[in-house]
């Protein structure tokens, strides 16, 4: 399974980019959620169940997608080395 990096930038398999802000725990069910923000538009804040965020793309439903995981961590290097 994919690993989660807080403050990491992730690419969704449909092409947009997001930053993971934090993890949240449902107060009653104790289910873990990923809290993430869009890096486009109004920078809306979203939550998604932890396991779903890290899951693989359903390649039967999306056969043309090359990305393995629903969200993939991006390696963004500084231009100032």
In a domain, 1, yes or no: no
Query: What is the per-residue pLDDT across 44-57, written as a single tens digit (0 to 9) for each?
Result: 999 999 999 999 99
Instruction: Output the average pLDDT for the chain.
Output: 95
Q: Which domain holds residue 38?
A: 9-73
* pTM higher than 0.85: yes
Sheet (strand 32-38) strand order? 45-49, 32-38, 17-25, 9-12, 71-73
Q: What's the domain count of the chain? A: 1
Name the band, by pLDDT with cuts 50, 70 and 90, for residue 1: low
Phi, psi of 50 (to 5 degrees): -50, -50
Taking only the tens place, the pLDDT of each residue in 59-81 is: 999 999 999 999 999 998 889 87
Could you tell me if residue 18 is inside a domain?
A: yes
Tens digit of each residue's pLDDT (9 = 90 or more) over 9-19: 999 999 999 99
* Cβ atoms of residues 23 and 36 within 8 Å: no
Report the Cα 26 to chain-centroid distance in Å: 18
């Amino acid at each position: 399974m994919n690993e989660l990096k807080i403050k990491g930038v992730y690419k969704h398999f449909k092409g947009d980019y997001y930053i993971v802000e934090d993890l949240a725990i449902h107060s009653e069910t104790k289910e873990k959620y990923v809290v993430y923000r869009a890096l486009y538009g109004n920078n809306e804040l979203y939550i998604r169940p932890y396991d779903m965020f890290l899951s693989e793309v359903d390649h039967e439903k999306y056969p043309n997608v090359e990305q393995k995981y629903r969200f993939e961590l991006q390696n963004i290097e500084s231009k100032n080395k």
